[in-house]
A and B are shown apart, each in its own frame.
Chain A
Amino acid sequence: MKVRVIAATVMVLLLAGCSSAPARLAPSPAATPTATSAATPKPAPTAVIDVPVQSSELTAPVATVPPVRIRVPSVQIDIPVGPVGVGDDGLMEIPFDIRTAGWYQYGPAPESATGSTVITAHVDSFEQGLGPFAYLKELSAGAEVIVTAADGADYRYIVESVQNVEKKQLPLDQVFDRDGAPRLVLITCGGQFDENVLNYSDNIVVIANPA
């Protein structure tokens, strides 16, 4: 008997739910004043839609775990990685040491659910010679890349493509993508070298997907 009553009540609630106001709010037709003063007491109404509510208290930001090492066994790359940002010239910062790679710290990290982890290193310098990232252009599709994060976790990626892109045509919003599928993007320089401005014409871009 008791069970039956509860069931009936649930039915009523379900029916009430079905017939209640539409769940989507719409603009008022012409901002006409709504009917006022309900003389008869009514039960407390329930909200028509479920709106996410959170506290506005000050909270400490959640830090991402940075990558600290990158290995590409097929071309003998095994170098440390440090966090970098943006220089005063608006270009991505890159470690002076050509045997250290820089991770774009404002973008995704290997643990991120979405977007591209971007790691770059200088291809060369007059004082230091040719750097390990000079061998990126030798990579084949299917090559393995291992990125180690500061917590010791290894993230494995498989190279999808190696591209030679003229710098002024590099789609920066896509390279530094934060919302798409998780990927690893390795960048260095290549193409022709302009002796007058000491600058390469192209970027070498490696795109790798989680293994």
Chain B
Amino acid sequence: MTIPAKVKQLSETLWEIAPSYKAGMKVPARIVGTRNLLESMDDAVFDQLTNVATLPGIVGYAYCMPDGHSGYGFPIGGVAATDPARGGVISPGGIGFDINCGMRLIRTNLTLEEVAPRIKELIDTLFELVPSGVGSRGALKISKPQFLELVEQGSRWCVRHGYGWPEDLELTEEVGCIEGADAASISKKAIDRGFNQVGTLGSGNHYLEVQVVRPENVFDSSLAARFGLNVPNQVVVMFHCGSRGFGHQVATDYLRLFLSVMRKKYGIEMRDRELACAPLHSPEGTDYFAAMKCALNMAFANRQIILHHVRKAFSRVFSRSAEELGMHMIYDVSHNTAKLERHLIDDRALEVLVHRKGAPRAFARGMEDLPPRYKDLGQPVIIGGSMETGSYLLLGSSEGQETFFSTAHGSGRRMSRTKARKIWQGDKLLRELKHRGIYVRTASLRGLAEEAGGAYKDIDEVVEATTRAGLSKPVARFVPIGNVKG
């Protein structure tokens, strides 16, 4: 695809659409990426991003990250900050239905040589202990009252109940529990949908992968060593999932509520109903913020329970405790959120609400909220590639101010699911992957075909673009040897 004429190139990796392009745009829309990446973006990205630029109270720029593709409301990879003190809104469409969809990375002291002969048994055990697929549930048996505690306390609830290690909390964004979650703001339907889904992967592009760090894929060995990546061909575990049906229902509930009050009560008109919003400082905005935080916590807890089962699976297969296997977390990062943060806007420090939809935070060294042990390094960012190509550990950069310290979250789709299914067949792909040393278990062969590597952009190019744009820099690259595909 050619890049539309309205998109002007500002630098090698920065592009802009001026506010004059569309009525109601309050700020310019900016896209980070190389020419090649922009050419792979569908036109709807530019349309959706310029809609985002019309949000009441938006400041700076409406941003799209290099892995961006069209979504609903915001494009995936969309980042936008609003100023609540000046009527700035909160929009569920700027966060996504899968609130706090995110990535978690765990290291082990095992090597490829030790794991490869047992990979089938290991992946089969993970497949058994971590439920995946349509409506998956049952990994953690809790009552609804317990679930209400869990959504207010996040990973803390899990660790207190024996599902994890105290250090896991420090290594999770928001220490695994965001302040201000209020269970009074969530519906019965949300509870019904979520209370039996804690510890489950879901489906679509959600997965759990066993990966290897080959020596040639370590970009900075002293940095990598700070994350405990210091053995050639070391094995790590990475997984991708969110707040399951609970978060989906919270987003749906408030999308409907905002739609009913947006125009009538607040006089806001949006071009896309999916961008329904309300001022953060309004009863509806405040309630959604508190409910969304419950979903953030539910996702942290979800990944914490999955981690517990991952440790159990490794322990079972290798007949050693998770402690003996050195299964420490590297980090847990969210890429579907809205958070109040302080940023420099026109040289003034302002508290703004940063929406990130398909974009992780990538704080620079020294910034608040970083785990003490990473304070001098910067925030670890985990980027999941396609099942076939590989994934990355990056670090936030001090040049990332303009994007509110955000970066890419994955390789980003370049092909629709239906098109992918016409090109690849699940069973054939499964065999091909096995032949290439990647053992896959999946709840859905059709879904597997939709997630084929060729349906995604080139992860290396996405990471390179974030580096050149000064948003993040790579520490290590991981290649898969086993995958549980949801």
Tell me whether A and B are bound partners: no
Q: Could you list which residues of chain A lie within 8 angstroms of chain B, going by C-beta atoms?
A: none
